[in-house]
């Protein structure tokens, strides 16, 4: 019995420092034949775009399972409905923090390896998703900056992320934010991965630099965020219904661009389990 030949993985670079567009049909993606190559490409490019692949919910779950160890959402669901409508997503209010640069799982024992979003309903205005490559941003830093930040550690907190949304919370709001996961966690500013590559650990959960004057530490975090989100390290995906986008959560930041809260925008997310703690 003959074995069908493996199709070639066809992908094109989006920008020199970030992003690749994968031009492979849905059947080949669901077969898993490109899984290893896709994960290698993801680490190199940070973000992979699958234009108008039109996965059903079941197909998105199946595709995610071909790539690594599937992980469920906090409440046990396989698919997370990314929506600001509280009748669709119970944590819709918390999702407003996603308008600011972040990575997922800063409070977890290890951050998720990768996420996949599939666009179902779009807003008429806004609602794009931006990504930046924190590997490339670190690698491009001047040597003096690398030496200065190499040993620094940063306190991360869910409350810091929510302060972007509500700068003057009530005490009840503050306590509610703290109740979502671990209240705070100390992480290195520079993550040395098992591969030997290094990336910046920043984003809206980063609250203060250990051992620094609070304002000076915050200034450093703002400076590094601005550095990492420069155009050469950043890609903005303008969604079309049916697009799927996968990103390396261990080497990128992401955020949604502003859109009307009542727009009905809906994207489905699936995730791959983390493989490496931040040390």
What b/e readout covers 22-45, taking b as 16+ CB neighbours within 10 angstroms? Answer: bebebebbbbebbeeebbebbbeb
Give pLDDT tens digits for 263-275.
999 999 999 999 9
The pTM (predicted TM-score) of the whole model is 0.94
Predicted confidence at residue 175, as pLDDT, reads 86
Q: Identify whether the C-beta of residue 190 lies closer than 8 Å to the C-beta of residue 201.
A: yes
Judge whether residue 2 has pLDDT over 70: no
Predicted confidence at residue 273, as pLDDT, reads 97
Q: Identify whether the C-beta of residue 268 lies closer than 8 Å to the C-beta of residue 57.
A: yes
Higher pLDDT, 60 or 74: 60
Give pLDDT tens digits for 15-33.
999 999 999 999 999 999 9
Please give the CATH architecture assigned to the domain spanning 11-272.
Answer: 4-Layer Sandwich (3.60)
Q: Identify whether the C-beta of residue 94 lies closer than 8 Å to the C-beta of residue 164.
A: no
Predicted confidence at residue 93, as pLDDT, reads 86
Give pLDDT tens digits for 161-173.
899 999 999 999 8
Q: Identify whether the C-beta of residue 207 lies closer than 8 Å to the C-beta of residue 156.
A: yes
């Amino acid at each position: 019995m003959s074995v069908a030949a493996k199709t070639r993985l066809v992908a094109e670079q989006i920008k020199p420092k970030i992003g690749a567009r994968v031009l492979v049909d849905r059947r080949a993606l669901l077969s898993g034949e490109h899984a290893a190559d896709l994960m290698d490409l993801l680490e190199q490019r940070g973000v992979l775009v699958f234009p108008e692949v039109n996965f059903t919910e079941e197909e998105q779950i199946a595709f995610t399972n071909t790539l690594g160890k599937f992980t469920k959402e906090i409440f046990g669901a396989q698919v997370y409905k990314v929506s600001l409508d509280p009748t669709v997503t119970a944590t819709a209010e918390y999702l407003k923090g996603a308008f600011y640069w972040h990575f997922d799982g800063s409070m977890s024992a290890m951050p998720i390896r990768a996420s996949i979003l599939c666009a179902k309903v779009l807003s008429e205005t806004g609602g794009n998703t931006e990504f930046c490559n924190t590997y490339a941003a670190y690698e491009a830093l001047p040597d003096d900056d690398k030496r200065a930040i190499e040993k620094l550690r940063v306190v991360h907190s869910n409350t810091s992320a929510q302060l972007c949304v509500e700068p003057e919370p009530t005490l009840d709001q503050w306590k509610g934010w703290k109740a979502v996961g671990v209240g705070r966690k100390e992480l290195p500013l520079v993550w040395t991965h098992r591969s030997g590559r290094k990336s910046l650990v920043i984003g809206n959960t980063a609250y203060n630099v250990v051992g620094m004057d609070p304002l000076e530490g915050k200034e450093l975090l703002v400076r590094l965020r601005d550095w990492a989100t420069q155009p050469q390290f950043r890609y903005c995906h303008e969604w079309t219904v049916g697009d799927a986008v996968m990103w390396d959560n261990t080497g990128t930041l992401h955020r949604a661009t502003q859109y009307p809260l009542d727009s009905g925008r809906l994207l489905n997310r699936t995730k791959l389990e983390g493989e490496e703690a931040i040390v």
